[in-house]
Structure 1
Amino acid sequence: MRYYIILFLGLISFHIFAQDRYHFQPIDVKHYVFQLQLNDQNNQIKGQTLISILFKEGNLQQLTIDLVSQQNGKGMRVSIVKEQGRLLSFSQEREKLIIQLDKASQKDEVRTFEIVYVGEPADGLIISKNKYGERTFFGDNWANRAHHWLPTIDHPSDKATCEFKVTAPIHYEVIANGRKVEESYLSDSLKFTHWKTEVPIPTKVMVIGVARFAINFLDTYKGISIESWVYPQNKEAGFEDYSLAKEVLQFFESRIGAYPYEKLANVQSKTKYGGMENASNIFYYENSIIGTKSEQIERLIAHEVAHQWFGNAISEKRWQHVWISEGFATYFTELYMEHKKGKKTMQESMKRLQNQVVLFYESHPDLPIVFERINDLNEILNTNSYQKGACVLHTLRYEMGDSLFWQSISTYYEQFQHQNVVTEDFQRIVEQVSGKNWDWFFKQWLYKAGHPKIKTMWEFDKKSKQVKIKIAQKQADIFTLSPELCVYKYNGELIYKEKVFLKERETTLTIPTNEEILKVVIDPENWILMEKE
């Protein structure tokens, strides 16, 4: 998601403290059918949405749906709300559509409502011109912007299957989530396109893309169509760059589990982010295409494809746990690059991420990865959610070992695919797989601010022929960790390499040696997030 999000923080301001009460909603949307009419004369859209809702409680007299009302000429004006052909009373209040039920709800019943509306989206559906001056329509819903153009429960905790039935001028191609069900020519000027998902997805990744596209059906992998949708003017470069997705998909599926969606389409778009991981059709910023298959585009693709598992198939139940999406996608990008380029690349990458975390900590010393009081979404789009989340996963891999780590990942995916989770759910899987209690690990790395600051001192005692090593934790709160310690003689020979268990303010050990030593190195392979002196 938003691979270059730091560039865009100033563009986003969503208040979400109240939003995270959504998972206590007395309803559960099961299915959406979005029927949309687009045109080239103006930016107004016409919509007709069918919403199938499971009522989790009985005796509800009204239903509240997220939909931005018209203000200052933009927003959606609802004209009709129906249930089984019966007209229902409704009102619009800023970002809510309030529907009066003509009969109270019964617990566990499913009812379908029809909403007819029209308007010009102020956000969410970006109607503009691409870099070649051609008109385009691109959904850009993250985090809670779907309700600017779609009636929804606009929170990741309420996943649903969906269909997009789009009528648009004939010269456009239309892409959306899921599998294409139909494409029909309605007249000399209009075309109808129908896409449908088979599994539930969160509204943050329910989108359409409508533009003039060149389409490359790159390959099929285990029944998954791998596709590239790019502007015709740069199709050769676009097909070249986006072809990297096949190898990324194969690696992730081999390590995590089956790819969760019907296709993997990589789409050149007008998203305001570097990349947006829309389920089964990833949108990349339009200047992502260069045609050189650079490491930059490879990393971007890896990050967004990783989100298909982490963020889309498994989604955060509450925004406070967004690291479950962003930290995982950031780390799995590095895992893919390690697979591609080797262990040294991983060590260098983790050092770079650790340095970014340390720099962020200097201006945010009291901020943990998971923190409860959030007033603005900007607060969670930060280095902790991305880079520190990745560092924590890297340390967990070190502490568990590769075998148990990968078993935890695949078990986590198998158990929670197409569901919503919080951090405790992942911890529970780690403990289940390893047979150990990891409460200490999750508390210190995810719920507590900061990281270890380690000072290593040593001296060689000629008489006793020993090197005495003192390792001190200089940060305020003591961490429990077991970094590798390496001791080298002046000729470069490694004479000691062991894990040392640190859980005190100071730890002292002695190592026998006949010669003076050149250096003592703690955590030489950058497994653990720390500052070193």
Structure 2
Amino acid sequence: MCRNRIAFLPRVLFLAGLIMLMVSDLKAQSFDHEPYPKLDFNFVNLELSLGVQPQNLRIDGEAVYQVEANISGADTLTLYASHLDISNVSVDGEAADFSLQNDSLFIPVNDSAEVGSQYEVNIRYSGRPQFGVLQNRNETIWSSQLPKAQRHWVPIVDHPQVTFKTIFNISVPSGIQVWATGEKVGEEVLSVDAMRYQFASQKEVPASGLSFAIGGFDNQSTGYGEKKINLAVAKSLDSKIDPQAVLQNAQDYLASVEEKLQREYPFKQLQIVVLEDHNGEKKSWGATTIFLYKNRGDLDTQLMRGIIGQWFGVQQRERQWNQADAITLSQTLLFKELLPDSSILSSKDQPKGFGHSLYSQFGSEQWNSWQKGIGEWQNESVTVFMRDSITKMLELSAVISWEEYANFWYDHIGQPLFERPQFSFDSAESSQRDSVAYEVYYDFNEAEGELKLQFEATQGYFGELTTIEAYEIYPGKVDTSEVTFTGKEDSIVLQVQPTINTLQLSYEDYPTLTLDEFKPSSFLISELRNGETVEERAKAARKLGYHTENPDLQLAIQDFMKQDLEPKVEAGLLLSMADITDGASGTEQAFLDALKSDHQVIREAGLMALQNYPQNSTVVNTVQAMAQQANEMPMFKKSMQVLTAVMDEESFSGFVESIVQADTVGHQSIFAIKELANMGQVEDAVDQANLFTESEYSYDIRSAALQLLIQHDHAASNWLNRGQELAEEADPRIRFLIVRGMGQNMNDEIRQFLMDYRQDEYDARVHQKIKDIL
């Protein structure tokens, strides 16, 4: 009996845990818009007064709605208010007995409504949004355009189906600028420390497209007929953005889209906000607003896409994000016709695995796949019809789906295009997987007139016979032959004349192929003397160092170095001499002298050669000084790599600490900390890396620090402490990395923490990561 009960217990616990996860999933957030939300009331107008404290992302707000009953008998207005503290609600000036449940705000109206009955609803609230509002290290904050984002900073039904006129009154500390949905209609000094900005839209805008940006901007404007284009560039980008060029392009692009669509720009003003980092945002346009990100790639592509988005994306908008290809198709058709030279966006600055979610529909990868794949999707006549009828597509319902587009096409050309195309995107990772690399070892038998080439694959390999050309270089002539190989290892023997100077392989027809060749020293000396390009001569110079068994080469290299050489060639010879001398006593001076060269490539070669001299005080002091004085990262990295070879661990650890204390940006520190960890000083490296996870550093620094901690910090208690900071972290990419670290150091406490926290995580990507872990 006891044995049976004990054997049964693990199954009970497993089933209990499974049921708990299933219940958790039932309660979990839905991240896409409802297809057809129940709307008992029509929203006529929103006047929003918002006080924002950028230093802690705190908001205090008052939302005043004018609503109108759509049906008789409606007695409760339902809004969404995620993690907002509602302090007071009134209807037509009378206090309302509201309730807040599961992020929904229920407001009873005074009487059972009749169709057309109008009410004024006033809501006072406050909060600190974790989702829906983004913040960078400069305390610039801006609104997300991900689905269901607006409900985190204003009580609302933030569905594409809902539209209304708007008035925004946004109060901020003095010295900070504000841009928001609508036309800027005023600004007012509230006190020495505060300003208020007002924006209004007399044209209805979608609730899902409300947007704002608050921060330190350099602002410029230009007219566009009776309308206006405003440009706000983050002050950190002053020297990197040409504002006049952006404004001129905005004018040109607006005009070209208007001409093609035969429709005016739909609003009185266009606000363009340029920021450093996208913070993981996918959709970059809202009503009257375009966000451009320096690390998203070509600004012209982003700008044109955002301008097109004011028609296809705001006027006509996606009903659900999983149907958003209808919008991307429209944008692509227009883009390809109006700006054919630019199209690809960058996908940098996001953790691996972070981009695969519902949000990807408006992400760089999806956009790029449409740009590359649309030409192959349908035959030319279908594509021409789609392009030529794009103006008529705007006459479809404002809130659209792919099916509505497909119905339009079918009605006109009888083509059942109801399945959305599935495009593949050739990422850098896939390109790397497709590449093939071989090492080629030369064995020259001069007496027999035979040259054996041994091929050994180092990355991928050719499964079929591959033929490349070989040029046999002789005094006064060149003979051509073919070299054929396949598989992971292969060899071929060429019959050559004893007077051959060298052999050169040509594989231009195989762009994914790389060969690393190891030739006899006589071949290399011939190429060093007679190579047609600097690159050929420099490559030969560097390869001489692999012949360490030939002591005569040291004298030959020294003789070469007495000549007037190109810097790249001299650098190659220095590195080859370092390989041959291998740290022999008294040979370091040539490399120390190279550090004084006017050419960086020679200085770097001399520096790398010094790693052969461990515990040499002159070398250690010299390289340490170079690291401290390095203004550019390549030289700093090489200096630190050499120090790991010549410095003892304790001294290196102290030196890294001094770098960390002096480095205010973080790039040098992160690299130094990685080298410290590679030396085995993991505990010290973890302590130092923790300093660079704070929000004052840029994403690339913070993410590098967290990646280092994920690799080396396996203390569950440390990760639990980092998890406590999730609710205060505005960047979803950082939350994603912290959750990843917690998942790799799981214990019962972390599991319970993630189960409790998951219901408060509103970013689909982070939420999914937690789900995968649990």
Q: Normalising to structure 2: TM-score of the pair? A: 0.45
Residues 230 and 401 from structure 1, CA distance in 2 versus in 1: closer, same or farther, beyond 3 angstroms?
Answer: closer
Matched with 1:15 is 30
Matched with 1:91 is 99
2:264 matches 1:258: yes
RMSD: 3.3
CA distance in 1, matches of 2:191, 2:68: 38
Residues 68 and 311 from structure 1, CA distance in 2 versus in 1: closer, same or farther, beyond 3 angstroms?
Answer: same
Matched with 2:461 is none
Alpha-carbon contact 1:66-1:153 (below 8 Å) kept = yes
1:123-154 CA distance string (max 9 Å, x none):
21224433xxxx22211132211111111102
Greater CA drift, 110-119 or 32-41: 32-41
1:65-144 mapped onto 2 (5 Å cutoff): 65-69=79-83, 76-130=84-138, 135-144=139-148
* Aligned counterpart in structure 2 of residue 160 of structure 1, from 160, 164, 183: 164
Residues 201 and 97 from structure 1, CA distance in 2 versus in 1: closer, same or farther, beyond 3 angstroms?
Answer: same
1:424-452 CA distance string (max 9 Å, x none):
433454466xx5433x2x23x43x8799x
How far does residue 299 in structure 1 lie from its aligned partner after superposition? 1.4
1:344-378 CA distance string (max 9 Å, x none):
x89xx8xx9xxxxxxxxxxxxxxxxxxxxxx9735
Alpha-carbon contact 1:242-1:266 (below 8 Å) kept = no
CA distance in 2, matches of 1:213, 1:319: 31
Matched with 1:398 is 380
CA distance in 1, matches of 2:236, 2:367: 34
1:208-223 mapped onto 2 (5 Å cutoff): 208-217=212-221, 219-223=222-226
CA distance in 1, matches of 2:35, 2:95: 30
Alpha-carbon contact 1:36-1:47 (below 8 Å) kept = yes
* Aligned counterpart in structure 2 of residue 301 of structure 1, from 300, 303, 311: 303
What SS is found at the alignment partner of 1:20?
coil
2:176 matches 1:172: yes
Give 1 or 2: higher helix fraction: 2
Work out which of the two has the higher radius of gyration on C-alpha atoms and give 1 or 2. Answer: 2
CA distance in 1, matches of 2:386, 2:422: 24
* Aligned counterpart in structure 1 of residue 227 of structure 2, from 224, 227, 234: 224
Output the amino acid matched with 2:53: N
Residues 223 and 55 from structure 1, CA distance in 2 versus in 1: closer, same or farther, beyond 3 angstroms?
Answer: same
What SS is found at the alignment partner of 1:123?
coil
Alpha-carbon contact 1:274-1:284 (below 8 Å) kept = no
Matched with 1:292 is none
CA distance in 1, matches of 2:63, 2:375: 41
How far does residue 206 in structure 1 lie from its aligned partner after superposition? 0.6
Output the amino acid matched with 1:223: E
Residues 399 and 383 from structure 1, CA distance in 2 versus in 1: closer, same or farther, beyond 3 angstroms?
Answer: farther
How far does residue 234 in structure 1 lie from its aligned partner after superposition? 3.0
What SS is found at the alignment partner of 1:237?
coil
Output the amino acid matched with 1:248: Y
Matched with 1:462 is none
Structure 1 gaps, min length 5: 1-12, 70-75, 289-294, 353-374, 452-533
Residues 400 and 286 from structure 1, CA distance in 2 versus in 1: closer, same or farther, beyond 3 angstroms?
Answer: closer
Output the amino acid matched with 2:194: L
How far does residue 22 in structure 1 lie from its aligned partner after superposition? 4.3
CA distance in 2, matches of 1:336, 1:394: 19
What SS is found at the alignment partner of 2:405?
helix
CA distance in 1, matches of 2:44, 2:379: 36
Residues 78 and 229 from structure 1, CA distance in 2 versus in 1: closer, same or farther, beyond 3 angstroms?
Answer: same
Matched with 1:50 is 64
Matched with 1:329 is 331
CA distance in 1, matches of 2:381, 2:203: 35
Output the amino acid matched with 1:254: E
1:308-327 mapped onto 2 (5 Å cutoff): 308-327=310-329
Residues 166 and 383 from structure 1, CA distance in 2 versus in 1: closer, same or farther, beyond 3 angstroms?
Answer: closer
How far does residue 45 in structure 1 lie from its aligned partner after superposition? 1.2
CA distance in 1, matches of 2:105, 2:133: 19
* Aligned counterpart in structure 2 of residue 426 of structure 1, from 384, 405, 409: 405
CA distance in 1, matches of 2:368, 2:234: 32
Structure 2 gaps, min length 5: 1-27, 346-355, 425-774
Alpha-carbon contact 2:324-2:402 (below 8 Å) kept = no
Alpha-carbon contact 1:16-1:376 (below 8 Å) kept = no
What SS is found at the alignment partner of 1:102?
coil
Give 1 or 2: higher strand fraction: 1
Matched with 1:355 is none
Output the amino acid matched with 2:270: L
Name the structure, 1 or 2, with higher relative contact order (CA <8 Å, separation 6+): 1
CA distance in 2, matches of 1:425, 1:149: 32
Residues 236 and 226 from structure 1, CA distance in 2 versus in 1: closer, same or farther, beyond 3 angstroms?
Answer: farther
Residues 118 and 305 from structure 1, CA distance in 2 versus in 1: closer, same or farther, beyond 3 angstroms?
Answer: same
1:358-369 mapped onto 2 (5 Å cutoff): none
CA distance in 1, matches of 2:298, 2:54: 35
Matched with 2:8 is none
Matched with 1:409 is 390
Alpha-carbon contact 1:275-1:282 (below 8 Å) kept = no
How far does residue 394 in structure 1 lie from its aligned partner after superposition? 7.6
Matched with 2:75 is 61
1:473-515 CA distance string (max 9 Å, x none):
xxxxxxxxxxxxxxxxxxxxxxxxxxxxxxxxxxxxxxxxxxx
How far does residue 384 in structure 1 lie from its aligned partner after superposition? 9.7
CA distance in 2, matches of 1:14, 1:263: 35
1:446-465 mapped onto 2 (5 Å cutoff): 446=420
CA distance in 1, matches of 2:102, 2:259: 46
Q: Normalising to structure 1: TM-score of the pair? A: 0.64
Alpha-carbon contact 1:23-1:158 (below 8 Å) kept = no
Residues 381 and 236 from structure 1, CA distance in 2 versus in 1: closer, same or farther, beyond 3 angstroms?
Answer: closer
Alpha-carbon contact 2:49-2:61 (below 8 Å) kept = yes
How far does residue 25 in structure 1 lie from its aligned partner after superposition? 2.8
Output the amino acid matched with 2:106: I
Output the amino acid matched with 1:278: G
Output the amino acid matched with 1:15: S
Matched with 1:26 is 40
Residues 97 and 393 from structure 1, CA distance in 2 versus in 1: closer, same or farther, beyond 3 angstroms?
Answer: farther
Matched with 2:195 is 191
Alpha-carbon contact 1:34-1:50 (below 8 Å) kept = yes
Matched with 1:38 is 52
How far does residue 33 in structure 1 lie from its aligned partner after superposition? 1.3
